[in-house]
Amino acid sequence: MKIIIFYFIIFLNLSSSYAAKKNIDQNQIYKNLRCLVCQGQSISDSNSDFAQTIKLVVKDLIKQGKSEKQIYTFMADKYGDWIVYKPQLNKQNFILWVLPYVILLGGGLVIFSIIRKKRKKF
Amino acid sequence: MLSNLGNILLFINVFLSVLIIYFASQNIKTSGNSISETIYQTTLLQTTLIFGCFFTLVAAFITSDFSLINVFENSHTSKPLLYKISGSWGNHEGSLMLWVIILTIFSFFFLINNKTHPKNYRLFTLIFQNIIILGFLSFILFNSNPFTLISPAPKEGLGLNPILQDPALAIHPPLLYIGFVGSSIYFSAAMASLITNYSEKFFAKSIKNWVLISWVFQTLGILVGSIWAYYELGWGGFWFWDPVENASLLPWFAMTALFHSLIVLEKRNVLYFWVIILCLLTFVLSVTGTFLVRSGILNSVHTFANDPNRGIYMLSFLCLMIFSSLFLLFKKYRKNNYNINFNSKETYVLINNWFMLFYLLTVLIGTLYPIFTDALTENKISVGPPFYNTVIIPVVVIFLFFMAIGPNVKWIKNKFDNLISLIIIFILALIINFIIVYFFKSFTILSNLIIISSLFLIISSLIDLKKSLEKSKFDLARIISHLSFGFLILFIGLNHNFSLEEDFNMKVGDTKSFNNYEIKFKKLEVKNFKNYKSLIGDLEIKDKKMSQIKTLNPEIRIYESPSTLTYEAAIKTNIIKDYYLTMSNIDRSDFYNIKFQKKPMMFWIWVSCMVLAIGGFLRVFQNAKSN
């Protein structure tokens, strides 16, 4: 059980280091922005004028040397949080990001307790 | 005329459901273990008439009877026959007819197929199932009646959205609904089992095939939906974590957890209440999903026209279901002894359930969270693919290892005697992973882990396959499903990792070069078809390494009824990769936006998902044979 938790923490770290890639992939950014005038499509998939404009803005921001994260913050400030597909980790979204892991650990504890109860008997 | 016939049949069906509930409750009081002939006959009549009702609607669509609002809004005389038929369930009202049909068929077959089980358990199942049928019938009659008239009758219909005119999408709803709605029967059975205290392993026996059948269809329904999204929506992906996709995935997780723990209930007679909870949960999630989609609460590509009354009706029905099932559950709950050893197959099944519930709840939280932030803070947020990928994928890695080890662990008590072979398999997986990475030179840590863990599952399943063939003791269903799940994750991993995407603004005659490819815009044609006009591009893609040339013809289609533009992707599929090309016009210029994608292993993703479902079918046949 402890091993599982240990691995889990490692994977958490890995996944966050995975997110912090060095060179910026503009396609990746397009995919993570919502096309506000479409129904459930990203900037990358949409043919709308809005999507074309946002693409140009993103290219411009990359040229200015902004990081991926800065670009998302810029977009969220300008158009609202609705535009970014990856919710930012802030006070409001804290539960969203943390609850799944709490459930994962909680579920593990439940199974562990079921099995331990049985052990004590013998 | 058809409208009257349909309405009459609906009313008769309401009457029959009430009658069945009455007969069944009378029959419960009698002694003896046989169900009266009248009940069989009434359910048979009910099934026949609901089919009649459905075919009346289909007939209205085929004959383009525009005096029905539903036909007027969703059909057109120039539509091909197949889409006239599929149009009958491609809308809210018609799809509810499909709901009721499946509810009724499952009710009928469950009744006639479980003759060895106690009478009262079967009768209570029938009663609960008919209460659900009544709920949906009255929803149809009072809120979403497909037979409502319009007067005067229009000459021509409005037509079906062109992107829905597609063979995959014609069969997608029926497949998915057999999964979704099929779960109602074990909801009813679970309620009946609680009331009649039928908690033995025989309860598990009576529902396991129903769970598997609904799981198989749910899997196929999701698969067909993904295939459609891949070639029709033109973005080159097959899963977007869209709320509606999530709604189909939630019951899938619950079903998967359920049929695994049913094995434990059948073999060891433990986990009864957990199985009941999963039975109830699956159908509740199915209805919740439908509610979220139909009420228009969630923003999605699939949204039908919305109506707030619909949402309120479904929400009340949902609450009633949840409260009555919770009430019964708490009333009947008694503490039971688990008696499970740390190192045993039971533990591994619990681990499966643990992960399944983690996926389920994560997806549920991600889907519902935006509703809460919107209601509480008026700040709309989007929870999209990046959220699910970061939270779920690392956990899948661990899950795959358990999935590989679990099936070979013995019941009750196991010894670790195969540790060495596990280490060998792990090393093998590592080596293959590094070969892949060495040749393709692109990787992230996480994708390496996904490839290693899926290879671990694949290799151990292959070894199992070899062993079971030698011993001629077949557990083929499990091995096939686990193996293909391993392949599914592997191919998705490879696809994600080695996809290539480039887009250009090009004019006819332009040539662009990138990586190892050269793309040439040769010409553009305009063609007229029966119900649309089409701009067809002629593009050539040259693979410089292999000196292969492929021609692709993406289209822009202009439909008249209803008037829409659709973009048709051109896809060249071969065994190892797909070329995926879309073309879109740029306003006020001769330039076209050309988007090229290379998608490796697409074909194999579909195949593995298909085989996963076949594994489920095999198990159904094995079970039927052993009975």
Mean pLDDT check: name the lowest of B391-395, B463-467, B544-548. Answer: B544-548
Which of A45, A92, A107 is closest, CB to CB, to B379?
A92
Chain A CB contacts of B414 below 8 Å = none
Structure tokens at A52: 């074309």
CB-CB contact of B577 with B601 (8 Å): yes
- Please report the pLDDT score of residue A16 as a whole number: 44
- Residue A45, pLDDT above cutoff 60: yes
* Residue B581 CA from chain centroid, whole number: 27
β-pairing, B532-543 vs B517-528, is antiparallel
CATH superfamily of the A24-88 domain: Cytochrome C biogenesis protein (1.10.8.640)
Assess if residue B344 is contained within a domain: yes
Quick check: B307 pLDDT over 80? Answer: no
Say which range, B288-292, B448-452, B575-579, has the weakest mean pLDDT: B288-292
Q: What angle do CA B538, B542, B545 make, to 5 degrees?
A: 170
Residue B384 vs residues A34, A48, A77, A82, B430: alpha-carbon distances, Å: 9, 20, 18, 10, 31
Task: List, in sequence order, every residue forming a beta bridge with B533; answer none if it has no partner.
Answer: B528, B558
Contact B446 A15 (CB under 8 A): yes
pLDDT of residue B278: 96
In whole angstroms, what is the distance from residue B616 CA to residue B407 CA? 16
Indicate whether B59 and B142 sit together in one domain.
yes
pLDDT winner (highest mean) among A57-66, A110-119, B610-619: B610-619
| Residue B410 CA from chain centroid, whole number | 32
Q: Do B201 and B180 have their domain in common? A: yes
Mean pLDDT (whole number) for B161-167: 79
Determine whether the interchain pair B357/A8 forms a contact, defined as Cβ–Cβ distance below 8 Å: no
Interface residue B397 vs chain A (CB under 8 A)? yes
CA distance B556 to B67: 33
Please report which confidence band the pLDDT of residue A118 belongs to, taking 50, 70 and 90 as the band edges.
low
Supply the ipTM of this predicted assembly: 0.85
Pair (B90, B65) in one structural domain: yes
The confidence band for B90, taking pLDDT boundaries of 50, 70 and 90, is confident
Per the structure block, which two tokens stand in for B278?
Answer: 């999963």
Contacts of B589 in chain A (CB under 8 A): none
Q: pTM score, two decimals?
A: 0.91
Percent of the residues in chain B that have a pLDDT greater than 90, as a whole number: 53
**pLDDT (average), residues B559-587:** 85
DSSP string, A8-55: HHHHHHHHHHHH--SS--HHHHHHTBB-TTSSS-BTTT--SHHHHHHH
On whether both B87 and B196 belong to a single domain, the answer is no
Average pLDDT over residues B404-418: 80
Write down the mean pLDDT value for chain B: 89
Residue B397 lies in a domain: yes
Phi, psi of B584 (to 5 degrees): -140, 150
Residue with the larger pLDDT of the pair B558 and B178: B178
Looking at per-residue pLDDT, the higher value among A96 and B152 belongs to: A96
The reported pLDDT for the residue numbered B546 is 80
Nearest chain B Cα distance for residue A7, angstroms: 8
Residues of B in contact with A47 (CB under 8 A): 567, 584-585, 593
Which token pair is B523? 């010409």
**Distance in Å, alpha carbon of B397 to nearest chain A alpha carbon:** 9
Q: Does B138 lie in the same domain as B179?
A: no
What residues in A contact B393, CB-CB < 8 Å? 15
Buried b (16+ CB within 10 A) or exposed e, B422-452: beebbeebeebbeebeeeeeebbebbbbbbb
Of A18, A19, A118, the CB nearest to B339: A118
Which among B359, B387, B416 is the end of a domain?
Answer: B416
Q: What integer pLDDT is reported at residue A19 of this predicted model?
A: 43
Which residue, B389, B416, B443, sits at the end of a domain? B416
Where do we find the tokens 């650990």?
A: A105
**Both B180 and B134 in a single domain?**
no
**Boundaries of domain holding B401:** 166-205+216-416
Q: Where are the domains of chain A?
A: 24-88, 89-122
pLDDT surpassing 90 at residue B333: no
Q: What is the mean pLDDT of residues B606-612?
A: 96
pLDDT number for residue A119: 54
Instruction: Check A11 against B593: CB less than 8 A apart.
Output: no
pLDDT value at B495 more than 80: yes
Instruction: Indicate whether A2 pLDDT > 60.
Output: no
Domains contained in chain B, number:
3
Question: Residue B575: which of B491, B514, B493 has the closest Cα?
Answer: B491
Backbone phi and psi for residue B198, each to the nearest 5 degrees, phi listed first = -95, 80
Is B625 or B620 the better-scoring residue by pLDDT? B620
Please check the confidence at residue B345 and state whether its pLDDT lies above 90. no
- The tokens 């044609």 sit on which residue? B525
> Per-residue pLDDT for B468 more than 80?
yes
Q: Average pLDDT of chain A? A: 78
Q: Is B254 inside any structural domain? A: yes
Residue with the bigger pLDDT between B141 and B301: it is: B141
Residue B476 resides in a domain: no
Average pLDDT over residues B160-181: 87
Report the range of poorest mean pLDDT among B175-184, B280-289, B297-306, B518-527.
B297-306
Give phi and psi for B297, each to the nearest 5. Answer: -65, -35
